[in-house]
Amino acid sequence: MTLRHFRSRSRAAFVAASILSVPLALSPIVTTPAAAQWTVFDPSNYAQNILTAARTLQSVNQQIIQLQNEATMLINQARNLASLPYSSLQQLQQSVQRTQQLLSQAQNIAFDVQQIDRAFQQQYGNVSMSVSDSQLVADARSRWQNTVGGLQDAMKVQAGVVGNIDTNRAQMSALVGSSQSATGALQATQAGNQLLALQAQQLADLTAVVAANGRAQALTEAERAAAAEQGREQRRRFLTPGTGYQPGNARMFNNGNN
């Protein structure tokens, strides 16, 4: 092979190599977008996230339930501290005052220990032998008036107590209704206390009736005892020997001209 021919082939190979190398040099580097955006899925991490979210949700639910319980507790406390809107104290006090006024109007001998002692010493004690017959009659009349007054006072007290029955019935109905509709412990307790107060007022009326009847009966028995003592004194005076019969002039007709 001649030198000329070798140079020609070398030049052709160089040109071919240059041609083949040009596309490689000029062509851009192409990357696949999908390969750059791939997300790696980790099952264990996903499960851990799910468990954490469930636990967080459970904790939030427990806090909500706790807040609801606290709100319910506060509502119940407010109900337990709420006062009863109804009060029967004024009506019960008025009933007691009416009964007391009737007792204070006792005639002649009041419900007073000292006054009773004085009355029995003066009017129901031993009959004095030195008093006049007219005084004996006056004392007997005074004792009779005491007895009649005591009986009248007892009937007035009885009438007053009977008059309180309608008031007590209305109060009892209102208090029972308030007790049944009580929203808390305080209201129920207050309703119960007022029912006890109503019962105490009724017992006070019963005590007043018993006292008035006992007073009337005592005055009746005292009058009977004093009358028996006075009767003995009057019988003694009647049987005591006196001056006897003294004759005197008797005028049967007027000294007129007929």
Q: Report mean pLDDT in 10-residue bins for the chain, 258 residues.
A: 50 50 46 56 82 89 87 77 83 91 91 90 82 88 94 95 92 88 84 90 94 95 91 85 62 56
- In this prediction, residue 253 carries a pLDDT of 57
- CB contact at 8 A, 175 and 195: yes
Report the alpha-carbon distance of residue 227 to residue 123 in Å, rounded: 11
DSSP H or E stretch at residue 149: helix 133-180
The residues, any chain, with a CB within 8 Å of residue 108's CB and separated by 6 or more, are 119, 145, 146, 149, 150
Could you give the angle at the alpha carbon of 51 between the alpha carbons of 45 and 53, nearest 5°? 105
Residue with tokens 């006792």: 106
- In this prediction, residue 220 carries a pLDDT of 95
User: Residue 128, Cα to own-chain centre: how many angstroms?
Assistant: 59
- CB contact at 8 A, 82 and 151: no
- In this prediction, residue 29 carries a pLDDT of 47
Range 86-93, long-range pairs (CB < 8 A, 24+ positions): 86/174, 86/175, 86/178, 86/191, 87/194, 88/171, 88/174, 88/175, 88/194, 88/197, 88/198, 89/194, 89/197, 91/167, 91/170, 91/171, 92/171, 92/194, 92/197, 92/198, 92/201
Reading phi first (left if > 0) and then psi (alpha if -120 to 50, else beta), residue 40 is in beta
